[in-house]
Structures are given as C-alpha cells and as structure tokens.
Amino acid sequence: MITLYTSSSCSSCRKAKRWLDTNNIPYREKNIIGIKLTRNDIMNMLKYSENGFEDIISTRSKIFKESNLEPEEMKFSELANFIIDNPTILKRPIIINDQIMQTGYNEDEIRAFIPREFRKFVVCDECKDDCEYKNCIKQAMQEAKKEI
C-alpha cells in the first residue's frame, strides 16, 4: 500500500493525489499538519531514502532557515523529535510503498508506483474509461478485494 504524506496547501501534493486517483492506484493519505507524525512515520520515510534526512528535509522551509538547524550534528532522536514537532520542515509530498520513496511530484518518476504487472501498458490521461491500462487496473483491484 502506498502512503502519501501531504499538506492541504501543497500543489504538488494535489497533483500526486490526482495522478494516483486517475490511475486507480490505492493509497493512504497522511496530512502532516492534520495528524501528529510518529517515529514510525519518520522511520518509514527513511527506510528507502538514499541520503537519510537530507532526502526528506526541505532546506528551503522557513522553519529550517529560522532554526539554524545542523542535521549532520544532531542525534537521530533529536532530529526525529524536531520533525515531529515541526512537520512543515518536510519536503512534500512524500510517497512511499514497500520498495521505494519519492519526494516531490515528478510526472515521470511517479510512474514507478504503477504495479509492476501493469507497467507494460501505456498510461494515458486522454481517454475516459475505455483504456486497456485502466481496465486492467480495475480488474486487478476487483480481484484483490475478493482476496481480502
């Protein structure tokens, strides 16, 4: 299952949600402003990052600039607590499944969240419901629901 960390004021978050909805890809949304992040959320974000906190912290954020934060000099627990207390320091959206993480919205890179068995089909945004890809996704979702 995909977890999508968002904030309501984020246009890139809205694009990511729209793309996932359009392509019938299920996800669980966590609004970082509306919920309190946990250490598990932070660990989930870092699990697939290549550069640790550098991949999820926005150095352009107001809170980062005002705090004179030096992530390299902080213990993990200190930095995790800082993020939990100041979630707007995170890049958005953060998209995670059980294999990869993506920060920000990138139309090409987000396609990695298409289930592997459906990547061979062309994703088209122009057609309505008469699309081989969308029909396959719908069928797969129906079969998955039967298994649950």
- What are the angstrom distances between the C-alpha of 50 and each of 59, 82, 100, 101, 102? 17, 21, 10, 9, 11
Q: Are 4 and 16 spatial neighbours (Cβ–Cβ below 8 Å)?
A: yes
The token pair that represents 101 in the structure block: 């993480």
17 SS3 class:
helix
Transcribe 57-105 into DSSP letters. Answer: B-TTSHHHHHHT--GGGS-HHHHHHHHHH-GGGB-S-EEE-SS-EEES-
- Please indicate whether residue 10 is annotated as part of the active site: yes
* Given the residues 10, 13, 131, 136, the one annotated as active site: 10
Catalytic residues: 10
